[in-house]
Amino acid sequence: MVTVNEAKQKIIANVQALSVQTVEVRKALGYVLANDILAPMSLPSFRQSSMDGYAILDTDILEKDTILSLSGESKAGQTITQTLVSGNAIRIFTGAPVPDGATAVVMQENTSAENGTITIREFPVQAGKNVRNIGQQIQKGAVALEGGTFLSPGSIGFLHGMNIWEASVHSKPKVGLLITGDELLHKGDAIVHGKIFESNSSMLAAALEKEGIADLEIKYAEDDLESTIKGLSELAENNDVVLASGGISVGDYDFVGKAVEALGAKTIFYKVRQKPGKPLLFAKRNEKLIFALPGNPASSLVCYYEYVLPALRIMSGLKDPFLTTLKMPVKYAYSFQGERDEFLKGLIVNGEVIPLDGQESFALRSFAIANAIVYLPVEQNVVKEGDLVEVHLLPF
């Protein structure tokens, strides 16, 4: 059995980023850059107005209500370069080129126009006011985005704004899921005493889709060794990561561990000193990863967030793969006994985290409203109201 920290360190040591591919930037949402991108141009590439108003020379404004002659107009998209002469103002719009010679833009709300003249109601006017300078956002040749950057909608817009239409990214892992258990019912089945409706596949599929992995291969295995070996083997052939749900404890009908061994996979660790989710197995078959998750839904989801998700993120090229961690005050006192660290489903409200009712390994109702996981090591098995605890933010 390993500790929580030891398990995470073993994942870091045994998981590498996948190969690099080139994708269209507009289709790159959720991918991770494989290398630095240098700016091929400065942004802005010309001086722009950040306001609708009038381009002026700040040195012309010697007092409030200075009157200037209106000598032209500059609108967005205009390609002709204008020059402003002292004593004049040029009408200008947001995003339009600032004329040569102009040193500031006065917003139109601080002016009044009459008979070809403009009265400037503002004094003093600082040089550079309301002017976006060349390269103010990024200078040509500078690192625009570093390798390892997660490509968000803002990233995509930023790259397109620099005339970048393709990017080198790490491939996303392909994932297969094996669901085990003769006790499981599926959509359309009649309710039967002693059986339960299978929910782990939809739960894990949703978690993977949230991470941008939508193409999930799912197989089902009966509670026997041959069926389990067959399912794992087929999934390992087609995917980078195989998740098995259930069948990993020590019962007479738990065959996943034996099936992993039969496939010739190397077990990196089995069992973690934690609650819930103790019977977690992590193995490798060549470069393929196998995670055997507990069958209890809450245990399975905790193990996914704390161990599987970081592995997937490392494979995708992320440098910081674990859930965002904060220290927060706990709203209510909590204590536990035993020698295992605990992961609690929690709800953050007004800067405090509430350990929710229903912490049992089978209970998903609390996970349905949780937005965080509270991590309590055995050294912190008694917490009082207001004590700081480690909180892992769930991705939403």
pLDDT 10s digits, 25-59: 999 999 999 999 999 999 999 999 999 999 999 99
Q: Kindly state the average pLDDT of the residues 351-377.
A: 95
* pLDDT > 90 in the chain, percent: 90
Where do we find the tokens 């065959």? Answer: 255
pLDDT at 253: 59
Q: Specify whether the CB–CB gap between 296 and 361 falls below 8 A.
A: yes
CA dihedral 337, 340, 206, 234 (to 10 degrees): -140
Residue 201: CB partners within 8 Å, gap ≥ 6? 177, 179, 218, 245
pLDDT at 182: 80
Q: Specify whether the CB–CB gap between 73 and 153 falls below 8 A.
A: no
pLDDT at 197: 86
Q: How many CA atoms lie within 13 A of 19 on its CB side?
A: 5
| Residue 380 scores a pLDDT above 70 | yes
Residue type, 180: T
Q: Kindly state the average pLDDT of the residues 249-255.
A: 73
Structural domains of the chain ordered from first start: 4-18+172-315 (3.40.980.10), 20-43+136-170 (3.90.105.10), 48-132 (2.170.190.11), 325-393 (2.40.340.10)
| Residue 252 scores a pLDDT above 70 | no
CA distances from 225 to 183, 234, 248 (A): 16, 14, 12
Higher per-residue pLDDT: 396 or 83: 83
Secondary structure of residue 272 in the 3-state scheme: strand
Could you give the CA distance from residue 116 to residue 121 in angstroms, rounded to a whole number? Answer: 16
Tell me, what DSSP letter sits at residue 106?
Answer: E
Where do we find the tokens 């004049």? Answer: 88
Alpha helices in 188-331 (DSSP H): 200-210, 225-238, 256-262, 297-303, 309-315
| Residue 356 scores a pLDDT above 90 | yes
Q: Kindly state the average pLDDT of the residues 218-241.
A: 94
| Residue 365 scores a pLDDT above 80 | yes
Could you give the CA distance from residue 130 to residue 138 in angstroms, rounded to a whole number? Answer: 18
Q: Kindly state the average pLDDT of the residues 287-299.
A: 95
Rg (CA), the chain: 30
Could you give the CA distance from residue 273 to residue 6 in angstroms, rounded to a whole number? Answer: 10
Phi, psi of 209 (to 5 degrees): -60, -35
pLDDT at 383: 96
What six digits make up the tokens of 57?
């020379």
**Cα–Cα nearest to 109, from 49, 70, 52:** 52
Q: Kindly state the average pLDDT of the residues 227-238.
A: 95
**Cα–Cα nearest to 292, from 180, 182, 172:** 180
Task: Give the residues across from 343 on adjacent strands.
Answer: 375
pTM (two decimals): 0.89
pLDDT at 184: 82
Give per-residue pLDDT as tens, 137-192: 999 999 999 999 999 999 999 999 999 999 999 999 999 999 998 888 888 888 99
Give per-residue pLDDT as tens, 62-104: 999 999 999 999 999 999 889 999 999 999 999 999 999 999 9
* pLDDT > 70 in the chain, percent: 99
